[in-house]
């Protein structure tokens, strides 16, 4: 059902946790399956580079795996590069997901974009 890569990111998720002084935090959820994702970003204001990223996900194995992979894909990237992250790219990096679990990759993309949006709002307010 799941690829080895999905199982690896589920059993050994990368970047789990919170960043207390996060530059941006994004929370998304899906009532349909009960998955909730929270993404924390630490962004260098001068370079726009995501220096650290953490996540907390409450949900199925695919939700944890997609969150983990998404953090790996944006860490060290600029905000502009991270905004281009697509759920399809996350699925491809995980070497596939069952059709009924594709929504988890959409949540991962949305969580990243929500955290960046939060960061951008905070920056404008300064």
Strand partners, 58: 36
Of the residues 16, 33, 83, 93, only one is catalytic, namely 33
Neighbours of 21 (CB within 10 A): 6
- Tell the residue number behind the tokens 């069952």, with chain if given: 98
Strand segments (E) across 1-126: 24-30, 35-43, 50-58
pLDDT value for 1: 84
Cα 104 vs. chain centroid, distance in angstroms? 10
β-pair type (50-58, 35-43): antiparallel
Active site residue 104: yes
pLDDT value for 31: 64
Mean pLDDT score of the chain, rounded to an integer?
A: 95
Which uninterrupted H or E stretch holds 46? none
The pLDDT confidence band at residue 125, using thresholds 50, 70 and 90, is confident
- pLDDT at position 32 over 80: no
pLDDT value for 26: 98
User: Tens digit of pLDDT for each residue in 64-122?
Assistant: 999 999 999 999 999 999 999 999 999 999 999 999 999 999 999 999 999 999 999 99
User: Residues of the chain with pLDDT > 70: what percent?
Assistant: 97
Query: Residue 98 has which token pair?
Result: 């069952």
Of the residues 104, 108, 114, 115, only one is catalytic, namely 104
Q: List, in order of start, the domains of the chain with CATH numbers.
A: 4-120 (3.90.1010.10)
pLDDT value for 44: 97
| Cα separations in angstroms, 74 against 10, 31, 108 | 18, 26, 11
Active site residue 60: no
- pLDDT at position 37 over 70: yes
- pLDDT at position 30 over 80: no
């Amino acid at each position: 059902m799941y690829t080895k890569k999905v199982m690896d990111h589920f059993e050994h998720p990368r970047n789990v946790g919170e960043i207390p002084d996060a530059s941006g935090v994004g929370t998304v959820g899906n009532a349909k399956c009960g998955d909730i994702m929270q993404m924390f970003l630490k962004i260098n204001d001068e370079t726009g580079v995501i220096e650290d990223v953490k996540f907390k996900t409450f949900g199925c194995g695919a939700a944890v795996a997609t969150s983990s992979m998404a953090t790996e894909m944006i860490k060290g990237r600029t905000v502009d590069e991270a905004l281009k992250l697509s759920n399809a790219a996350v699925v491809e990096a995980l070497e596939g997901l069952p059709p009924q679990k594709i929504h988890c990759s959409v949540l991962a993309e949305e969580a990243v974009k929500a955290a960046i949006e939060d960061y951008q709002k905070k920056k404008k307010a300064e």
